[in-house]
Amino acid sequence: MRDDELTWQLSSYTDSAACVEVARPAGLVLVRDSKRRTGPRISVEPAAFADLVDWVKDRPL
């Protein structure tokens, strides 16, 4: 899938572009570095991404 066919979301908690962005095509979650939008990205299943988000939320800042 081409990037121009995806809707990328930047975290509302960031105050700069130094964050990750996610896109959610059918059956996947794609993650990329907001500073390197044409760089590599990872794809994970939605359940695995939800587990990652829960894990991060449980960590102290």
Mean pLDDT of the chain: 88
User: Residue 34 — pLDDT band, cuts 50, 70, 90?
Assistant: confident
Rounded to the nearest angstrom, the gap between the alpha carbon of residue 51 and the centroid of all alpha carbons in its chain is: 13
Rounded to the nearest angstrom, the gap between the alpha carbon of residue 34 and the centroid of all alpha carbons in its chain is: 9
Q: What is the pLDDT of residue 17?
A: 65
Q: What is the pLDDT of residues 3-27, one digit of tens each?
A: 778 999 987 777 766 788 999 999 9
Q: What is the pLDDT of residue 24?
A: 96
- With beta carbons less than 8 A apart as the criterion, state whether 13 and 30 touch: no
In 3D space, the residue among 56, 53, 28 whose CA is nearest the CA of residue 42 turns out to be: 28
Q: Cα dihedral angle (24, 30, 31, 32), rounded to 10 degrees?
A: -110
